[in-house]
A and B are shown apart, each in its own frame.
Chain A
Amino acid sequence: MSLAELRRIAVNGVWRQNTSLVQILGLCPLLAVTTNLVNGVMLSLATIIVMALSGAVVASLRNLIPHEIRIPVFVLIVATLVTVVDLVFNANLHRLYLVLGIFIPLITTNCIVLARVEAFANKNPPLQSLLDGVFMGAGMLWTLALLGGLRELVGKGTLLSGIDMVLPGFDPIQVFPADYPGFLLVMLPPGAFIVLGVLIAWKNWIEARAAARRKKPRSAPAADSGSH
């Protein structure tokens, strides 16, 4: 695999085809889980594991899977991997498992997993498919971390609450004074939509600015003609 290909996969996953900001897929966990940073990050990590493994498995088996029944087989593979991840979380991160609850099994129904398996892993070699899953998941990770972090900060005035469920011994950070009244709207699902909207606008603004800068040198000569 060439470096250029790796770069393309990475940029696609993390930025250009970002699952949450561009494809707007998988909104169910996005809205429900991102009330704080730790939840967002941990659900994303679980999704990354599932996407990487399902990409690799599907790509390895892609020549054995008849075209007509590929969707049931994909669902079978994804569901198996999700259940395994669910069991491992239950066994080793029990407290967090109780918090994330139904949203780990729901990774199966997160259309982004099936979408990448169908659109990428079904046509590409295992290594590329694995990396595609990792980077698509990484795109989801930073977005959900930002979303969860912003909602937690504005809604509760803390950061990293619940970190002790993942890394015992660590404490949440109280950013605003303890008597910060909180902002309930941000913690509720509508708040997730609003913050997500702000993030999408921010991404579009960055891209628009980059596009304008790229265009400028070319449009400069046109300005000389003074045809306004």
Chain B
Amino acid sequence: MTPPARKPLTAARMAARTALILFLFVSVFTALLAGAYLWTLPSIEAAAAEEKMKLIDEVLPRERYDNELLGDALVLDAAPELGVDEPARILRARKNGRIEALVLEAVAPDGYAGRIRLLLALDAGGRIIGVRVIAHKETPGLGDYIEARKGRGQARPWITQFDGLNPAATDAREWRVKKDGGRFDAMAGATVTPRAVIKAIRKAALFVAANRERILASP
């Protein structure tokens, strides 16, 4: 199939040939990409779920439930009380089918440096089992004591003060830092951060209490 003396290609044929070659390259490499995506997809999903479970383990011990927690989510439409923009996902931890605890995310919009994301676990009666800060941009060394890991000479992490409390059953005036007449400790010089966290926790717990029927009843 040797052509007699190569004819110079016209511009149109040249363009068509180049386009075809480029198309072939794109097809082959897109197929490779799709293959790699499908091949890694299960591990990526498992890794993301494991990362989430690690966070949840800090607020809710695994002994307290026996269901597939991440698969049992109740999606509520936008809930401004929780401070989240997207529909709120409330995870329901069950033991023997009965709802024992709820795990949800709340956002404190008014931290010293922007939003503070929190993860809360509440028991069926509305009491706080545990709270952790998932993400924040507070000043390192000053406002970051809200993280459980940054203890600094305290008897116990600051964020554990909330354990066992029921915001719906306590006076609103207690839900302030001590400096403002409430019950919670705060470090001198960094009270904006704890104020925001306390407010967000209380709002989220009250939201759950107000919607308790709906959250517990819906399948």
Residues of A within 8 A of B (CB): 64-66, 68-69, 72-73, 76-77, 80, 83-84, 87-88, 90-92, 94-95, 98
Q: Does B44 contact A (CB under 8 A)?
A: yes
Q: Is the CB of B22 within 8 A of A84?
A: no
Chain B residues lying within 8 Å of A66, measured Cβ to Cβ, are 17-18, 21
Task: Using CB atoms, name the residue of chain B closest to A184.
Answer: B140
Q: Could you list 14 A-B pairs, sorted by A, with CB under 8 Å? A: A66-B21, A69-B22, A72-B22, A73-B22, A76-B25, A80-B29, A80-B33, A84-B32, A84-B33, A87-B40, A88-B40, A90-B40, A90-B44, A94-B44
Q: Does B43 contact A (CB under 8 A)?
A: yes
- How many pairs of A and B residues are in contact by the CB < 8 Å rule? 49
Q: Is the CB of A76 within 8 A of B18?
A: no
Known contacts A66-B21, A69-B18, A69-B22; A91 and B44 CB within 8 A of each other? yes
| Alpha-carbon distance between A95 and B43 when the two chains are bound, in angstroms | 13
Chain B residues lying within 8 Å of A72, measured Cβ to Cβ, are 22
Q: Is the CB of A90 within 8 A of B33?
A: no
CB distance from A89 to the nearest CB of B (A): 9
Which interface class (under 10, 10 to 19, 20 to 34, 35 or more) fits B? 10 to 19
Known contacts A80-B29, A80-B33; A94 and B18 CB within 8 A of each other? no
Binds A, one of B47-55, B76-84, B85-93, B99-107: B47-55
With beta carbons under 8 angstroms apart, the residue of B21, B36, B44, B51 that contacts A69 is B21
Residues of B1-56 contacting chain A, CB below 8 A: 17-18, 21-22, 25-26, 29-30, 32-33, 36-37, 40, 43-44, 47-48, 50-51
Task: Using CB atoms, name the residue of chain A closest to B35.
Answer: A84
Per-residue CB proximity of B102-121 to A under 8 Å, as 1/0? 00000000000000000000
CB distance from B18 to the nearest CB of A (A): 6
CB distance from A95 to the nearest CB of B (A): 8
| Alpha-carbon distance between A90 and B36 when the two chains are bound, in angstroms | 12
| Alpha-carbon distance between A91 and B39 when the two chains are bound, in angstroms | 10
Known contacts A68-B18, A94-B51; A73 and B37 CB within 8 A of each other? no
Q: Is the CB of B25 within 8 A of A91?
A: no
| Alpha-carbon distance between A80 and B40 when the two chains are bound, in angstroms | 14
With beta carbons under 8 angstroms apart, the residue of B18, B36, B48 that contacts A84 is B36
Q: Is the CB of A83 within 8 A of B51?
A: no
Q: Is the CB of A77 within 8 A of B29?
A: yes
Chain B residues lying within 8 Å of A69, measured Cβ to Cβ, are 18, 21-22
| Alpha-carbon distance between A114 and B90 when the two chains are bound, in angstroms | 46
CB distance from B57 to the nearest CB of A (A): 15
| Alpha-carbon distance between A87 and B37 when the two chains are bound, in angstroms | 7
| Alpha-carbon distance between A90 and B51 when the two chains are bound, in angstroms | 12
Task: Using CB atoms, name the residue of chain B closest to A93.
Answer: B47
| Alpha-carbon distance between A139 and B210 when the two chains are bound, in angstroms | 61
Q: Is the CB of A92 within 8 A of B43?
A: yes
Task: Using CB atoms, name the residue of chain B closest to A77.
Answer: B29
Known contacts A87-B44, A90-B47; A80 and B18 CB within 8 A of each other? no
| Alpha-carbon distance between A80 and B26 when the two chains are bound, in angstroms | 10
